[in-house]
Amino acid sequence: MDFARAREIMVDSQIRPNDVTEPGIVSAFLRTPRELFTPADKQGIAYSEHEITTSPGRALWTPRDTAKLIKLADIKASDTALVAGAGAGYEAALISQLAARVVALEETQALADAMAQRFDAVGARNAEPLAAPLELGAPGAAPFDVIYVAGMLEVLPDAWTDQLRDGGRLVAVIIDEGGVGRGTVVHKSGTALSARAGFDASPPRFSAFDRKPSFSF
Span 83-106, pLDDT tens digits: 999 999 999 999 999 999 999 999
Please, which pLDDT band fits residue 208 given cuts at 50, 70 and 90? confident
**What confidence score (pLDDT) does residue 213 get?**
54
Instruction: State residue 216's pLDDT score.
Output: 43
Residues 6 or more apart in contact with residue 197 via CB below 8 angstroms: 174, 182, 183, 184
Nearest by Cα to 185 from 129, 145, 140, 125 = 145
In which band, very low, low, confident or very high, does the pLDDT at 9 lie, cut at 50, 70 and 90?
A: very high
Report which DSSP code applies to 213.
P
Paired strand residues for 197: 184
pLDDT value at residue 212: 65
- Express each pLDDT in 136-174 by its tens digit: 999 999 999 999 999 999 999 999 999 999 999 999 999
Per-residue pLDDT, 178? 87
- Please state the φ and ψ torsions of residue 104, each to the nearest 5 degrees: -105, 105
For residue 210, name the pLDDT band (cuts at 50, 70, 90): confident
The pLDDT value recorded for residue 96 is 98
Sequence letter at residue 209: F
Per-residue pLDDT at 215 exceeds 70: no
CA–CA distance from 18 to each of 25, 110, 123, 197 (Å)?
Answer: 13, 35, 28, 16
Q: Where are the domains of the chain?
A: 3-209
- The full length of the chain comes to 217
pTM of the model: 0.95
Q: What are phi and psi of 199, to 5 degrees?
A: -165, 160
Residue 141: partners with Cβ closer than 8 Å, 6 or more residues away: 80, 82, 103, 128, 130
Instruction: Find, among 213, 212, 209, the residue nearest to 149 by Cα.
Output: 209
Fold of 3-209: Rossmann fold (3.40.50)
Query: Mind listing the pLDDT tens digit for each residue in 10-69?
Result: 999 999 999 999 999 999 999 999 999 999 999 999 999 999 999 999 999 999 999 999
Count of CB atoms situated within 10 Å of the CB of 48: 15
Q: What is the pLDDT of the chain when averaged over all its residues?
A: 95
Alpha helices in the chain (DSSP H): 3-10, 23-31, 63-73, 90-95, 109-122, 158-162
